[in-house]
């Protein structure tokens, strides 16, 4: 009874203290594509991703109801850095859904402007607003509607202390007439958040580098549940608690004997109720991450801004030295990466796996239809027979006194040529060790795809090379040879395919550059560079986030300058967030059902080269 009354009181006081409008809320995932297009169309950096921001404590004055309910302590505001445009995961500031949607669009337009880091928050946002309205006057009606609606929600000046009232008056004046107020009056506590402006103190951006400890897969119990949380969290790495600092969960007088004591660390004990775990997550300003290698009863999936560990460069080892593009410096770093060619010398020759033979036979029949049929080629300078039509025309023109031009008088019966070559580059990073379903892992799906792909191209006689790649920082990019252009597809090649296994990380730029060099040496009219992957570029060092994306994009640009046709096949469900920027809108495809990849890959090749 006591618990029920407490829950009822909590719902009542929370509802009374609420200032948002959940019935009119707009989610970022509903409008992210539109926001991204608008941001780039208005001059924003095309390389920035659109993601949810981090909720942070604002410290401004709260009403007594909010203090009792413990609400309105955090706020999600817009900001951007060199890699990401961060917007609230959900906007429900206004009672009108259209206004909440307009706020997303306005923030995208505001963030597209040039940010002067020498200006203070108050002056900067006025300058951005003024410039945005001047450059894009069509946004003025939308901005005026937002300002009018926001002013109704701002604090009443008569109920504020003198210093806070002066600051609030200045903010309201700056919203009505951007640029009209030069300085924000000082206050003892922070002012109320302004959702129409950028974040006053955005968190320091630290890329999500991966440490060696993170390469170990976290264990999860068989009955665990997973909840996706689109909000981004501030995070820190910490050591696992020793269990001696937990909360005492019982009264001392209830402990009668030593046998009644059970060691339970209440700091880290898993919540069996997933809703309770999610509520605990919502109450955290900073999420501490530790590893204890124990099965988890509850799994919450969310994004963290984790600080990067220190990374020291080491001398380059032996191998092939390759450049890398640094987008911040806008220049290429020569001999920055070391690529090491690898060959599975211990691989045993094998036959095609039995479970693939029927599918391979059907696909081979389909691909044999792509082989050009033998036809008569007329008007040839040389051939197996005289072309009677051309000969009669030639004789007729001579008898009529016309000047006969030199024409081909022969015909030849031969087949047409498929003047093309394909280099398949497969991602063999550690992420391919993940399970697609209860029967197969990603690496096994990739292995089957390579088998069937080679079987099909062997039927057409097209030139084919296959390589796999992974990396462990810029000094160790592994490039596995599965089949070269000069080799025949045989049992030994199948043995190399059978021997592939998950490696480390995904330094795409170096692998693409070396693959482009190999493919460009083939004298064909249609060279196809096919990339098979399950995720975005990443590595241990700075090759994370936008740095890796920009280097991969530049490597593909260099490949196109060599006359190659790059195309990406991925099973990453989030690929649409970054692949259009890297490959272009028509140079990639997402396989929604990864188990269909072995069958879909050869058919995709047929469409690309048909």
Tell me the per-residue pLDDT of 82-108, one tens digit each, with 9 for 90 and over.
888 999 999 999 999 999 999 999 999
Report pLDDT for 49: 84
Report pLDDT for 18: 78
Report pLDDT for 368: 78
Collect the ranges in the chain with pLDDT lower than 50. Answer: 206-224, 226, 247-271, 302-317
φ, ψ (nearest 5 deg) of residue 374? -75, 125
Beta bridge mates, 234: 286, 305
Report pLDDT for 407: 67
Report pLDDT for 576: 83
Where do the DSSP E strands lie in 310-445? 320-326, 331-343, 374-380, 385-386, 410-415, 420-427
Instruction: For 370-396, give the DSSP string.
Output: TSPPEEEEEEESS-SEE-HHHHHHHHH
How far is Cα 363 from Cα 372, in angstroms, rounded to an integer? Answer: 17
Residues 6+ apart with CB under 8 A from 354: none
Report pLDDT for 390: 81
Tell me the per-residue pLDDT of 373-421, one tens digit each, with 9 for 90 and over.
555 667 777 777 888 888 788 888 878 877 655 667 877 765 555 678 9
Report pLDDT for 589: 92
Domains and CATH numbers, the chain: 2-176 (no CATH), 212-305 (no CATH), 342-368+418-609 (3.40.50.410), 374-415 (no CATH)
How far is Cα 395 from Cα 94, in angstroms, rounded to an integer? Answer: 88
Report pLDDT for 437: 80
């Amino acid at each position: 009874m006591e618990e029920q009354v407490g829950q009822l009181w909590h719902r009542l006081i929370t509802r009374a203290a609420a200032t948002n409008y959940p019935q009119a809320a707009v989610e970022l995932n509903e409008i992210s594509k539109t926001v991204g297009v608008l941001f780039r169309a208005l001059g924003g950096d095309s390389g920035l991703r659109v993601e949810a921001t981090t909720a942070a404590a604002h410290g401004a004055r709260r009403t007594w109801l909010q203090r009792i309910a413990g609400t309105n302590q955090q706020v999600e505001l817009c900001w951007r850095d060199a890699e990401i445009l961060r917007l609230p995961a959900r906007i429900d500031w206004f009672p009108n859904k259209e206004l909440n949607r307009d706020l997303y669009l306005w923030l995208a337009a505001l963030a597209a402007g040039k940010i002067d880091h020498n200006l203070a928050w108050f002056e900067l946002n006025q300058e951005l607003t003024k410039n945005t309205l001047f450059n894009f006057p069509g946004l003025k009606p939308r901005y005026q509607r937002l300002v009018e609606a926001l002013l109704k929600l701002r604090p009443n000046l008569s109920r504020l202390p003198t210093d806070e009232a002066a600051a609030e008056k200045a903010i309201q004046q700056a919203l009505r007439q951007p640029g009209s107020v030069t300085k924000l009056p000082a206050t003892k506590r922070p002012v109320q958040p302004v959702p129409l402006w950028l974040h006053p103190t955005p968190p320091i951006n630290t890329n999500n580098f991966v440490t060696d400890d993170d390469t170990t897969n976290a264990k999860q119990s068989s009955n665990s549940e997973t909840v996706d949380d689109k909000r981004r969290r501030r995070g820190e790495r910490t050591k696992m608690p020793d269990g001696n600092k937990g909360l005492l969960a019982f009264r001392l007088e209830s402990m009668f004997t030593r046998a009644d004591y059970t060691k339970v660390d209440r700091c880290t004990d898993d919540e069996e109720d997933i809703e309770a775990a999610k509520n605990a997550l919502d109450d955290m300003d900073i999420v501490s991450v530790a590893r204890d290698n124990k099965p988890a009863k509850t799994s919450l999936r969310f994004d963290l801004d984790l600080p990067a560990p220190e990374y020291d460069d080491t001398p380059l080892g032996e191998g092939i030295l390759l450049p890398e593009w640094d987008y911040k410096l806008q220049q290429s770093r020569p001999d920055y990466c070391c690529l090491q060619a690898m060959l599975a010398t211990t691989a045993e020759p094998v036959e095609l796996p039995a479970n693939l033979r029927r599918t391979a036979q059907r696909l081979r029949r389909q691909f044999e239809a792509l082989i050009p049929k033998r036809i008569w080629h007329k008007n040839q300078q040389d051939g197996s027979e005289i072309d009677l039509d051309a000969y009669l025309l030639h004789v007729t023109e001579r008898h009529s006194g016309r000047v006969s031009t030199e024409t081909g008088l022969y015909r030849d019966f031969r087949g047409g040529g498929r003047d093309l070559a394909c280099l398949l580059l497969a991602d063999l990073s550690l992420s391919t060790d993940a399970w697609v379903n209860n029967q197969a892992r990603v690496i096994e799906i990739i292995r089957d795809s390579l088998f069937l792909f080679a079987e099909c191209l062997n039927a057409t006689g097209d030139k084919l090379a296959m390589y796999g790649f992974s990396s462990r920082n810029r000094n160790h990019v592994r490039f596995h040879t599965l089949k070269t252009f000069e080799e025949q597809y045989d049992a030994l090649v199948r043995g190399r395919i059978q021997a592939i296994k998950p490696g480390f990380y995904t330094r795409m730029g170096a692998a693409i550059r070396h693959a482009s060099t190999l493919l460009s040496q083939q004298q064909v009219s249609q060279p196809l560079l096919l990339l098979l992957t399950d995720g975005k570029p990443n590595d241990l060092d700075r090759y994370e986030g936008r740095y890796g994306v920009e280097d991969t994009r530049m490597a593909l640009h260099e490949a196109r300058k060599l006359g190659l046709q790059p195309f990406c096949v991925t099973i990453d469900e989030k690929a649409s967030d970054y692949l259009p920027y890297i490959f272009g809108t028509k140079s990639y495809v997402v396989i929604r059902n990864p188990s269909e990849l072995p069958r879909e890959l050869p058919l995709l090749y047929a469409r690309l080269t048909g």
